[in-house]
Amino acid sequence: MAQLNSIANDEELLYDIFGSPTSKNVSSFGSINYKFTGLDLGYYAQVEDPYISGITATSRSALTVKVLGESIRVEDSFDLMKQKFGSDLKIKPSTLRAPDYILIFDMEVNEWDGMLIYFDASTNQVKEITYYINP
């Protein structure tokens, strides 16, 4: 994340990494949201050190994340998650996105930051990965 935070004010480098965005939205309170194919990326920019406010991947090729040394990508199966994380794997049903379910990883430094991994209940595969920061 530190690498992505470091390019918050460098759109050219951002586009080199992710390609041209399909859209860009600048809010009145300082956040910038870029939409790329299979990936949304949000920055909070009106501070001394701009930072990522969130990333959402909905395409397998858009993003690979590492949690506890294990890679996770969209379309990975729940069985694969069980192999990687064993009995430490805890899931919660999603009341907002029923019948899907969510795997949640809280960040050690700030329990209000974290990663949500949404599974499609019909395929038991990851359909979305969201990383978020609450300032």
pLDDT for 100-130, tens place per residue?
788 777 666 666 677 888 888 899 999 999 8
Domain contains 59: no
Q: For residue 36, what are the CA distances in angstroms to 6, 8, 14, 83? A: 19, 15, 11, 31
Number of domains present in the structure of the chain: 2
In a domain, 91, yes or no: yes
Contacts of residue 89, Cβ cutoff 8 Å, sequence gap at least 6: 81, 82, 103
Check if the beta carbon of residue 58 is closer than 8 Å to that of residue 118: no
- Confidence class of residue 45 from pLDDT cuts 50, 70 and 90? confident
Instruction: Name the most confidently modeled range: 7-11, 33-37, 42-46.
Output: 33-37
Same domain, 44 and 79: no
Together in a domain, 68 and 128: yes
Q: How far apart are CA 134 and CA 128, in angstroms?
A: 19
The Cα 42–Cα 15 span in angstroms is 14
pTM higher than 0.75 = yes
pLDDT digits (tens, 9 = 90+) for 50-103: 778 888 999 888 788 888 888 999 999 988 988 988 876 766 666 677 777 887
Same domain, 47 and 92: no
Q: Could you list the residue range(s) of the whole structural domain that residue 74 is in?
A: 64-132
Do 30 and 73 fall within a single domain?
no
